[in-house]
């Protein structure tokens, strides 16, 4: 019956979704159009002052852009934190935070080297916090599925065997 292999199908779909997520993440953060057209930005590519650009958006009345950046930077690595818990059994918060921190530093360094974005310290902080949020979301879902699903039918993520 089809449902006997649903665990394997779920894993395969999860891997495919994660690969798609990574491709979209790289496209939005590093592989931008300006990189291929030769148009690169050279104005203040490094910001080590916390909330410098976010404050500028608020001071100039660009609240929508502020919200977009704040929420976008927070949520962009949440799926990575979720995946750390999903794909690695026994993953700790420290491991998930380290993976998300490493990924965001990699993205920021690529943006700096390819001149396709700003290297901002606050982006690193927001991305890492978003990754931790994703990991915490995974833990919450695991706790909920443990209570709902009978123990005899549970696998690593609460999906049924």
Question: Token match 């590093």: residue?
Answer: 30
Structure letter (DSSP) for residue 160: B
**pLDDT tens digits, the chain, 161 residues: what are they?**
445 567 788 889 999 999 999 999 999 888 876 655 555 555 557 778 888 888 888 899 998 988 998 999 999 999 999 999 999 888 899 999 999 999 999 999 888 888 887 788 999 999 999 999 999 999 999 999 888 876 655 555 555 54
What pLDDT is stored for residue 158 in this prediction?
Answer: 52
CA nearest 127: which of 77, 93, 83, 81?
A: 77
| pLDDT given for residue 155 in this prediction | 57
Residues β-bridged to residue 46: 119
Only one residue has tokens 């005899």, namely 152
Residue 107 contacts residue 30 (beta carbons within 8 Å): yes
Length of the chain: 161
**C-alpha gyration radius of the chain:** 19
pLDDT at 42: 55
Q: What are phi and psi of 77, to 5 degrees?
A: -105, 5
Tell me how far apart the terminal alpha carbons of the chain are, to the nearest angstrom: 12
Cα(3)–Cα(7) distance, rounded to whole angstroms?
Answer: 8
- pLDDT at position 120, please? 87
């Amino acid at each position: 019956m089809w449902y006997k292999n649903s665990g394997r199908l779920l894993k395969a779909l999860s891997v495919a979704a994660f690969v798609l997520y990574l491709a979209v993440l790289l496209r939005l953060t590093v592989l931008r159009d300006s990189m291929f057209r030769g148009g690169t930005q050279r104005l203040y590519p490094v910001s080590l002052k916390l909330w410098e650009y976010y404050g500028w958006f608020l001071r100039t009345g660009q609240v929508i852009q502020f919200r977009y950046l704040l929420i976008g930077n927070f949520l962009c690595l949440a799926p990575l934190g979720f995946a750390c818990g999903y794909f690695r059994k026994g993953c700790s918060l420290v491991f998930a935070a380290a993976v998300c921190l490493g990924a965001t530093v990699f993205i920021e360094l690529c943006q700096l080297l390819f001149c396709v974005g700003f290297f901002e310290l606050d982006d690193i902080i927001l991305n890492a916090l978003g990754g931790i949020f994703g990991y915490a979301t995974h833990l919450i879902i695991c706790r909920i599925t443990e209570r709902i699903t009978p123990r005899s039918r549970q696998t690593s993520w609460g999906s049924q065997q």
